[in-house]
Amino acid sequence: MSTVELTKENFDEVVSGNDFVLIDFWAEWCGPCKQFGPVFERSSDKHDDLVFAKVDTEAQPELASAFEIQSIPTLMIVRDNIAVFAQPGALPEAALEDVIGQARGLDMDEVRASIAEAQQAEQAQKK
């Protein structure tokens, strides 16, 4: 499956309309981004049930800013509208496959419960 170019116009539609989205934040001038690009593409071919998307941080500075991207490439995985992984750096192919496997294995009900618990604790601290 080819990757989807994310923009501020289509971001919400793509991310909320899919259960599992891998996002590569990159820029044309970035050497490590160019190294990671083919790894990301090969992985997209292996996992045609997932959405692979790219954000050009130069063309989409608002998205990079909204996700507080400090260095590129940064890989983010969003499952059920929840960012479950975000890490800067070009991953080797085996590491990317491992991360995808771990993200697939997450119990999203547990993740949501953990987030709700953390939010409740935060609210209690504010009182």
30 is catalytic: yes
Q: Which of 21, 22, 23, 33 is catalytic?
A: 33
Determine the 3-state secondary structure of 90 from DSSP.
coil
What would the pLDDT profile of 16-55 be if each residue is shown by its tens digit? 999 999 999 999 999 999 999 999 999 999 998 999 999 9
109 is catalytic: no
Lowest mean pLDDT among 61-65, 69-73, 119-123: 119-123
Strand order from edge to edge, sheet including 74-79: 4-5, 51-56, 20-26, 74-79, 82-88
1 pLDDT higher than 70: no
What is the distance of C-alpha 26 from the center of its chain?
A: 12
Q: What is the pTM of this model?
A: 0.90
Q: Which of 6, 22, 23, 30 is catalytic?
A: 30
